[in-house]
Structure 1
Amino acid sequence: MARVIFVHGVGQQFSGALQVLAAVGPALRDGVQLGAGLALRDQDVACAFYGDVFFEPGTRSMDVPWWDETDVEGGLEAELLEAWWGQAARVDLEVAGPDEAGVRGPVGYGASRLLLSDRVRAALDALSRASFFAHVSEPLLIFALKQVRRYMTELELQQAAQARLAEVVTEETRVVVGHSLGSVVAYEALCAHPEWPVTDFVTLGSPLGMRSVVFDRLRPPPVNGVGGWPGGVVRWTNVADRGDIVALAHRLASRFGSRVEDISISNGMRMHAVERYLGAARTGVAVAKGLGA
């Protein structure tokens, strides 16, 4: 029975729980060994896999449509893209910012199709020069936007993703680790299940603090600008690389209260890479605390 459960982010739709665990399990165990001198066994770590919930049940497409700027929807998708663009410009000298693009126009639901497409095209062109997205094709980037939008707006999909975490939580589980969108899935599931025995929540490269797109859409919703505490969790450690474009608000204490311990690390040129996050000694220390080490 797993004492630590890992919840993945977007882009895992063609994988499975065993494949994800094979990729990230060693990094997590290395981080705990490096940071706390604690040797975890294979059976101590499990993966809550939800990548397939974005497809029809029993199916899994092996092709990503050749999406372009005309396929990015106004509202949440465009707002998220704009936020990534602005953050990329702040941390990467090769990326021209939104104010330098020479293309004006709203990105909300009221934007005209032409204005929206022009603005989205400028954002995609700018992000193509960002080292952060160096190995991400345009269709895959748009696919990521759509996965975030679908999770944040489709209640049935949210419930399906959170149910995957519920399936692997046992009486032995003490730590939940969420990366990227997986931190949102884990947060909402923990809020919904205060009876779980989980004492420690570790978020990596988390977008939980991103207003409008994520923070203001959480269930339960924030009260007076402060997000709710995740269930029966005793400690919440948030780990972020300052250059991680996904972790726009890299300090979550300002959104969820001073009980959150924010830790900054550097993942080199792979700012959002889950293996870099998990293998970091400071992440390992946070996980080990939940295991009594």
Structure 2
Amino acid sequence: MKPRLVFVHGIGGPRDAAADLEEWLRAAASGARAAGHAERASGLTGGWAADARFAYYGDLFRTPGSQGAGAAGPDRDADDELLAELLLDAVDARLAEPAAPLSAAETRALRHARTQLAPPPGAQGAGAPARRAVNAVTTLLAVPGLRALGGWLGARTTAGMLGQVARYLNRAEPDPTGATLDRRVRARVAACLDPDGPNVVVAHSLGTVVALETLHELAYGNDGAGAGDRDRDGAGTGGGPRVPLFVTLGSPLGIRTAVQPRVRPRPLATPGSVGRWLNFWDRDDLVAARPHLETFVRPNADTVRPVSHRVDSDGAWVHPAAKYLAQPAVAGPLVEALTTLGER
């Protein structure tokens, strides 16, 4: 039986899930060839290496009645506050712990963006959190070395896309049945997993948060609450679909104040069903602030914890999943795992 390969996307606008699946598979095949697995690369695009699925949930952020662009109310206010906090944390991480030397222009832009996000007391024209976030993104997108933050047409659109992280983590926007936005998103991912066979899960950006929470919830129920302590104490591995390999790309899990405290379970831990976790980050990816996840994610009962690797992509916009998947360091272990699982 072929293993199940599940891709979990991150922030962004409406998608053609079939086209994205094809793009991600082509990128991984390219990376596999570069890693010396030319004979296996065609198995990705040809469909015989894995039963590939694309867990699409982007449309849920555009559901009529949700707190979208231009909406008002307490949910939107909370989302704007969290977005500004997320950006501030990412900027502070880049200033304090740069993965590569910053140019003078990058340093100036980061410091200016920080002032826009956290103006000093009494500053004139500071504006509401949403305005501060848009102003800061405008500053960041003006510097080539920092354009990894986005890739959309403008700062307002970019800020809106980044705001999806806040909307997910604020766990609001219930539908008529009472299911909040975050729960509906996780349900989409859970539906793509094979409950019986082995799964290889590749998650990108916000998708790394979604996938982590989904695997915990499937293993322990109740949003994975308490799983970190149970795994740490070795009291079982939990249930849920088997995931011999979990791959995270450009993850925001390291953002300390805006993301980590809101992700479930607390403390963060490797899901019990995961047999190996590889985390990849690019030095120019502002979303992947504090990328060494193994320094704060606790191991599961099988002592599995994230192992982080840096990759370096070309171009001004390095955050897209396809850029990561085309890296030999990413695609090599992926295709090797699929081959091993397919031979069992």
TM-score (ref. length: structure 1): 0.82
Answer yes or no: is the 8 Å Cα contact 1:16–1:51 preserved in 2. no
CA 1:274 to 1:112, structure 2 compared with 1: closer, same or farther past 3 Å? same
**Does 2:177 align with 1:177?**
no
Amino acid at match of 1:17: A
Q: Highest Rg: 1 or 2?
A: 2
Residue 115 of structure 1 and its aligned partner are, at CA, apart by 3.1
Structure 1 residue 242 and structure 2 residue 289: aligned? no
Matching residue of 1:280: 327
Gaps of 5+ in 1: 66-70
Please give the alpha-carbon distance, in whole angstroms, between the structure 2 residues aligned to 1:15 and 1:50.
Answer: 9
Partner of 2:20: 20
CA RMSD of aligned residues (A): 3.4
Distance apart, 1:191 and its partner CA:
1.1
Distance 2:123 2:79 in 1: 11
Query: Shift of the alpha carbon at 1:99?
Result: 4.1
State the 1:282 CA deviation.
Answer: 0.9
Alignment check: 8 A CA contact 1:180 1:206 kept: yes
1:10 aligns with 2:11: yes
* 1:124 matched residue in structure 2: 137
State the alpha-carbon separation in 1 of the partners of residues 19 and 321 from structure 2.
14
Question: Given the superposition, is the C-alpha separation of residues 183 and 198 from structure 1 closer, same or farther in structure 2, using an over 3 Å criterion?
Answer: same
Q: What does residue range 39-118 of structure 1 map to in structure 2 within 5 Å?
A: 39-40=43-44, 41-42=46-47, 44=50, 45-56=52-63, 74-86=80-92, 91=102, 93-95=104-106, 96-97=108-109, 99-100=111-112, 103=115, 106=118, 114-117=125-128
Give how far 1:88 is off.
6.2
Moved more, 167-176 or 179-188: 167-176
Map residues 209-288 of structure 1 onto 2, 5 A cutoff: 209-222=254-267, 227-257=268-298, 259-269=305-315, 270-288=317-335
Q: Which range moved further: 77-86 or 276-285?
A: 77-86
CA-CA distance at 1:182 after TM superposition: 0.8
Whole-Å Cα distance in 1 between the matches of residues 78 and 125 of structure 2? 12
Shift in Å, 1:75: 2.6
Contact kept in structure 1, 2:94 and 2:289, CA below 8 Å: no
Task: Note the alpha carbon deviations across 1:96-122, whole angstroms, 9 max, x for none.
Answer: 245456957747xx9999534475465
Aligned-partner Cα distance in 2 for 1:189–1:262:
21
**Structure 2 equivalent of residue 202 of structure 1:** 247
C-alpha change, 1:50 and 1:122, in structure 2 (3 Å) is closer
**Contact conserved, 1:3 with 1:173, CA < 8 A, in 2?**
yes
Name the aligned partner's letter for residue 188 of structure 2. R
What are the superposed Cα offsets for residues 28-70 of structure 1, whole Å, 9 maximum, x if unpaired? 233234336223333622100010111226x99xx976xxxxx
* Contact 1:31–1:280, Cα closer than 8 Å, also in 2: yes
**Which blocks of at least 5 consecutive residues in structure 2 are unaligned?**
71-76, 173-179, 220-239, 300-304
Query: 1:202 Cα shift?
Result: 0.2
State the percentage of identical aligned residues. Answer: 29
Partner Cα distance (2:55, 2:160) in 1? 21
The answer to whether structure 1 residue 164 and structure 2 residue 165 are counterparts is no
Change (3 A) 1:87 1:123: farther
| Paired residue type of 1:184 | V
Aligned partner of residue 277 in structure 1, secondary structure: helix
Give the AA of the match of 1:191: H
Kept in 2, the 8 Å contact 1:253–1:261? The answer is yes
C-alpha change, 1:121 and 1:141, in structure 2 (3 Å) is closer
Which amino acid in structure 1 is aligned with residue 192 of structure 2? Answer: V
Number of equivalenced pairs? 280
| Distance in structure 1 (CA, Å) of the matches to 2:114 and 2:209 | 34
Judged with a 3 Å threshold, the aligned counterparts in structure 2 of structure 1 residues 282 and 261 are, in CA distance, closer, same or farther, namely same
Specify whether residues 92 and 119 from structure 1 end up closer, same or farther in structure 2 by C-alpha distance, changes over 3 A only. farther
